[in-house]
Structure 1
Amino acid sequence: MKLIACPVENLLKPVRSVSGIVERNQSLPVVSNILIEQTGGSVCFVTTDLDIQIRTTADVGVPGSEGRFTVSAQKTSEILAALRPLDNIEVSLTEDGLAEFATSGGRFTMQTLPAQDFPVIKPQNWASTFSIPSKTLRYLLTMTAFAMAQKEIRYFLMGVLLVVEGSKLRAVATDTHRLAYCEAEVDDLMQAERVEAIVPRKTVRELLRILPEDDTPVEVNLGDTQIGFNFAGIEFFSKLIEGKFPDYQRVMPTEDTNPQCVRLNREELLLALRRVQILTNEKFHGVRWLFSEGELLIQGNNAEQEEASQTLSVPWRWADLDIGFNLLYMIELLSNLKNAEVDFHFAATPKSVLVTMPESTSFRYLIMPMRI
């Protein structure tokens, strides 16, 4: 029974949209598959990892036919990616229940699993709903996601905190050694009561992969244990992380606590750090910043007693300061920022440093010093 007939590129697009969350080694085999539901010309594609679910549709079906099956997400993606985009492809279910992908140059026959065994996440009742341009949501996540914890006993740090309050949407992430904060004004958003949600790390990464880089509206739905995103024909549901996120407002330095502000050229600083990185300890990644009148000396070394240093001319006019940082944290920060200059706010003694963008209060970054 023929269910799908279209150019390869028309089928590859929805398959790629939903396949990113699928992991190879699953204890439940059907979760490694895509659920394909065809009713006439419309075909629905669904994947899940039991915590996240992505659904999209495409008009690639054969009118007058109907069918449901699941097939390997990884193999399907690889087969379609290996074919010529403009070639026509037909997808059929054989009498033996196999899925057959056929083009003029050959065919691929794969095992299927019953569609009724596929676990579908049902959305809950939403407590808050609003719309935001896709590029704005991407910006908020991009500017904070790099500070998420990777492996942390405090599981609630392995994600991005979203805070909806008034007309603002805030994103915050921290691994306790650094903290990134970014906010944006959202048109027509007026949330009377503050709403918070911790979005898991994998969900954030997947959103950054598939969110359009334009003004496509994204409908965001927040519930007690779920978050949903609807955009560009995609429905995206995810469980939230339960737990109490740290009080980021209490730990964030201010320009009053850190009055020594020096403005540095972002690209020059990034290049200097990457040069020093070549001979820096690969385990601890620690580098020293030594400020003196009009100068910044960056030093790094490794276990082989090799050293690297870079000197930059900077408008430093306070007492000499010797402070250490995690090199990778600084490189990640500067790589995500796109503006020409960056403001570093230091206290008179080595303690947490505030990083901001000139003439902007939407982004703030805290980094703790290292003892070198």
Structure 2
Amino acid sequence: MKITIERAALLRSLGHVQSVVERRNTIPVLSNVLLRAENGELSLTATDMDLEIVESVPADIARPGSATAPAHTLYDIARKLPDGSQVELDASGDVLTLRSGRSNFKLGTLPVDDFPQMTQGDLPHRFSLTVGALKGLIDKTKFAISTEETRYYLNGIYIHATKPKAGETAALRAVATDGHRLARVEVGLPEGAEAVPGVIIPRKTVLEVRKLLDEAADSIEVQLSDTKVRFAFDSITLTSKLIDGTFPDYERVIPAGNDKTLEVDAKLFAAAVDRVATISTEKSRAVKLALGKGVLTLSATSPDAGSATEEIEVVYEQSALEIGFNSRYLLDITSQIESGVAKLQMADSGSPTIVRDAADGSALYVLMPMRV
């Protein structure tokens, strides 16, 4: 294989694929990127056996062929080469030579045949989502993904098509929960997604897709089966295994009888929570909300740091209520409120609270209270 490629094009593609490669690997070839040159394009592939990303980029091919090279090293070299330079990659034997200007690097390679390929299989469900819709589904739920490995079925975002009740329209819904908070967001059901199975997309896949969306074109092609998901746009294809598990019946967690409603400026509220939480103990991060007519008093106490209180004006007309929350969870949820007004629906100090964006009915958050 011998090719010449612009440094900027190589760097951009390497930046996309190398982030899939784990820093530590028991299988050496998984530290490498597969480079394949043919038909005027250089194709770059990286995988961790559960997730595979392939990207193609135009290149001047003097000799077609393929090779594998250390992904992070190759990316670091490309990053440090001067802007506007041309890069020549020449693979022969078990060495990849990279030349650019007066720079010359020789990298060890591993056999192409050792590089694992994800079995393709049939992905029967196909639909398109706009970049904005997919960003919304990810951004408004990813903070609630569990990082606890024992409940592996919560380590991702659950995507499914809703079965609408009378008067409702079908939607594509994304749900994530870690047992302390739950995020549920939906978009209109895309054509072709009517029969999609409920699937759990792993956290790493979600985060890799989200990174790529900032540079994506208008729409994303999504393909699904019971075991795999594929996202394709521009010249990038990302294929991932799904989490093999059953997502819990999240509808049972969403309370139906919360009759105490608080409306508050989300930014004002978040800033007050953040200030008061400075005092709360690092472990619990607890903040107490005391509600009275038209006023909310936030407070936190710590045996070491002292105490803090702050009052803000709110819209609240029901009976007085005191309830405690983990301040970090509260801030994670209020940061999703785009309209400016957060609406909290509560029942009592021991029951889950519903948080909504007052102007956006597509997102719903549930937050478990804590004793303070």
TM range, normalised to the smaller chain? over 0.9
Match runs of 1:172-211 below 5 Å? 172-189=175-192, 191=194, 193=195, 195-211=197-213
Contact 2:30 2:48 in 1 (8 A): yes
State the distance in 2 between where 1:232 and 1:127 align: 21
State the distance in 2 between where 1:368 and 1:165 align: 24
Equivalent in the alignment of 1:82: 80
TM value normalised by structure 1:
0.94
Over the matched positions of the two proteins, sequence identity in percent amounts to: 30
Equivalent in the alignment of 2:223: 221
Give the AA of the match of 2:79: A
Equivalent in the alignment of 1:91: 89
Give the AA of the match of 1:74: H
Equivalent in the alignment of 2:265: 265
Structure 1 residues 8 and 117: alpha-carbon distance in aligned structure 2, compared to 1, 3 A threshold: same
Contact 2:126 2:192 in 1 (8 A): no
Equivalent in the alignment of 1:332: 332
Equivalent in the alignment of 1:12: 11
> For each residue in 1:167-189, what CA deviation from the matched residue of structure 2 results, as whole angstroms up to 9, or x when unmatched?
52110000111100000014434
The more displaced of 208-217 and 168-177 is 208-217
State the distance in 1 between where 2:244 and 2:73 align: 34
State the distance in 1 between where 2:370 and 2:39 align: 62
State the distance in 2 between where 1:108 and 1:311 align: 63
Equivalent in the alignment of 2:47: 48
Structure 1 residues 8 and 294: alpha-carbon distance in aligned structure 2, compared to 1, 3 A threshold: same
SS of equivalent to 2:16: helix
State the distance in 1 between where 2:193 and 2:44 align: 34
State the distance in 1 between where 2:193 and 2:91 align: 50
Equivalent in the alignment of 1:66: 64
Q: Aligned-pair distance for 1:350?
A: 3.5
Contact 2:40 2:60 in 1 (8 A): yes
Q: Aligned-pair distance for 1:309?
A: 2.1
> For each residue in 1:200-233, what CA deviation from the matched residue of structure 2 results, as whole angstroms up to 9, or x when unmatched?
1111111111124666221111112111111121
Contact 1:216 1:232 in 2 (8 A): no
TM value normalised by structure 2:
0.94
135, 139, 142: which one pairs with 1:145?
A: 142
SS of equivalent to 1:154: helix
Q: Aligned-pair distance for 1:40?
A: 4.4
| RMSD between aligned residues | 1.7
Equivalent in the alignment of 1:22: 21
Structure 1 residues 189 and 165: alpha-carbon distance in aligned structure 2, compared to 1, 3 A threshold: farther
Equivalent in the alignment of 2:352: 352
State the distance in 2 between where 1:273 and 1:334 align: 10
Equivalent in the alignment of 2:166: none
Q: Aligned-pair distance for 1:305?
A: 4.0
Q: Aligned-pair distance for 1:348?
A: 4.2
Structure 1 residues 220 and 250: alpha-carbon distance in aligned structure 2, compared to 1, 3 A threshold: same
State the distance in 2 between where 1:152 and 1:370 align: 23
Equivalent in the alignment of 2:116: 119
The more displaced of 182-191 and 353-362 is 182-191
State the distance in 1 between where 2:349 and 2:306 align: 28
Q: Aligned-pair distance for 1:32?
A: 0.9
State the distance in 2 between where 1:109 and 1:336 align: 48
SS of equivalent to 2:119: coil
Contact 2:68 2:112 in 1 (8 A): yes
State the distance in 2 between where 1:83 and 1:336 align: 39
226, 247, 250: which one pairs with 2:249?
A: 247
The more displaced of 51-60 and 12-21 is 12-21
SS of equivalent to 1:74: helix
SS of equivalent to 2:144: coil
Contact 2:182 2:366 in 1 (8 A): yes
State the distance in 1 between where 2:158 and 2:309 align: 37
Equivalent in the alignment of 1:108: 105
Structure 1 gaps, min length 5:
none
Contact 1:157 1:175 in 2 (8 A): yes
Contact 1:321 1:350 in 2 (8 A): no
Q: Aligned-pair distance for 1:26?
A: 0.4
State the distance in 1 between where 2:127 and 2:89 align: 38
Structure 1 residues 24 and 347: alpha-carbon distance in aligned structure 2, compared to 1, 3 A threshold: same
SS of equivalent to 2:67: strand
Structure 1 residues 295 and 273: alpha-carbon distance in aligned structure 2, compared to 1, 3 A threshold: same
Structure 2 gaps, min length 5:
164-169
> For each residue in 1:11-32, what CA deviation from the matched residue of structure 2 results, as whole angstroms up to 9, or x when unmatched?
1111111111111100001101
Match runs of 1:295-314 below 5 Å? 295-314=295-314
